[in-house]
Amino acid sequence: MDLENQKRVKEFTEQYGAENVVVLLGAAEGEASGLAAETVTNGDPTYAGPLTGVSLGLKVYHVCEEEVKAEFDEAVYDEQVSMMEMVLDVDDIAGEMSAIREQFCKY
């Protein structure tokens, strides 16, 4: 995850409290989604950014996961996300995301 984004996630968590923050991802691949999810839960696995060694344990979802899709206005989702839903390997992404959540999510 981009170092600047790590910094912003960390700052928002300090500002609002970890239990009130949900990180929503839009990464194109399962592996990239998993890495970003790991960064905001267990800490930066690349040991490069502000979240190195910082286990925030935040709630984190990919925008194509069913739980998130259900929260959307259908028309908005169709306009903003449905094309990508057709393109992405949603099952792979959902698998990676739930594995990371089960392992590291604290909320």
Partner 1 sequence: MKSVIKGASYILAHTPDMVLHNGTTQTTERIVNPESDYLKELPNHLRTFDQALAYWPNQVYIGNKTPDELAAVAQPWYDKECDINARYGKFGQMMPQEEFLLLMQACDVFDLVKLDKEFVAAHKPALEQNEIMDDAILSRITEGVEKSVVEHFVNDEHAEPLYHNNVLVGCVVRAHDIDVNLSAHVMHENLVSKASSVLALLYAVKNAGIEKADVEYVIDCAEEACGDMNQRGGGNFAKAAAEIAALPNATGSDSRGFCAGPAHAIVEAAALVAAGAYKCVVVTAGGCTAKLGMNGKDHVKKGLPALEDMIGGFAVVITEDDGINPEFNLKILGRHTVGTGSAPQAVIGSLVTDPLERVGLKVTDIDKFSPEMQNPDITKPAGAGDVPLSNYKMIAALAVKKGDLQKADLATFPVKHGLTGWAPTQGHIPSGVPYIGFAREDILAGRVNRAMIIGKGSLFLGRMTNLFDGVSFVIQANTGAEKAPEAGVSEEQVKGLIAKAMKEFAATLLAQAE
Q: DSSP of the chain, one letter per residue?
A: --HHHHHHHHHHHHHH-GGG-EEEE--SSHHHHHHHHHHHHT--TTS-STTTT-----EEEETTSHHHHTTS-HHHHHHHTHHHHHHS-HHHHHHHHHHHHHHH---
Under rule CB under 8 A, how many of the chain's residues touch partner 1?
17
Residue 22 vs 87, nearer CB to partner 1: 87
- Note whether 99 binds partner 1 by CB under 8 A: no
Name residues contacting partner 1, limited to 24-63 (CB under 8 A).
26, 28-29, 31-32, 35, 46-48
**Based on CB atoms, which residue is closest to partner 1, 2 or 19?**
2
Per CB under 8 A, residues contacting partner 1 are 26, 28-29, 31-32, 35, 46-48, 79-84, 86-87
